[in-house]
Structure 1
């Protein structure tokens, strides 16, 4: 409970800082402040055995979704069919990266990376697909900054749990539960079981 409160407070402060930076530096961060902080928070909060793996998975998903926009701008028609093909290709490639890496780059972090660039750039792209080369870098850098601050808030500033005790406790609980479950003899018939229950 304390960890949730501290983490939420850190994320709230960083979201406000992102908007303050936007006004101070003249950056267009306001519309991605909450999106980036929330996705960075998810990236920092979800445990994974390789901390670098979830960050690398995020970057892979981010880049593949960005390439999906490039594919739409260069080759695919600006229609529902074109968007469907791009979405299919991006998700398949993110899945392939996760599978080839042996889950060192988890699928969920790749999807979070894709969601970050799509959430920040989709509406801008829809308004001017021909401006992909000039507008997509700005959208990418602004959302990456917001995600980075959200990740920093949850991964570095908020207190981290010690999952080893919880993992050991649940493993022991599962083993104890399995040991106490009644088991039937391999050759026991239904009549034998009913007779045994009646005694």
Structure 2
């Protein structure tokens, strides 16, 4: 049974097994770049756990612990991707379904009007809610990063993004009802 006491030892162990860890994560998520992200997140989680320990109890079976964390992060990533795909199918925001080369002048004008409505809707939001939404949707930040940046809880960051999305949907719906 191997044990790890210091972060330096953990880094060496991590570097020694990195290729296998990425391969394992890739076998679960099916995307190399996502697997790389998951493995990096796993390393930082283990470092965080080790640095928060009150007593210097060594980490037993560190490689197995890394694999367990990577598996959990991969499953979280797959759940998130499934939710996002379901949302995108429900909302039909896919440009590929419309074919960019076949956009009529009417469709182009309609899209510009929707963009204008969304711009107004975003400006109606409270500053921090708008910022959370923009960071999530336009900058691609994770909710945890947004929560940290705005100094709010993860649940609050999620609620802010969801609230902004609901407001944008309602504004678009109101605009379409007005046209009919």
TM-score by length of 2: 0.30
TM-score by length of 1: 0.28
Quick check: which has more Rg, 1 or 2? 1
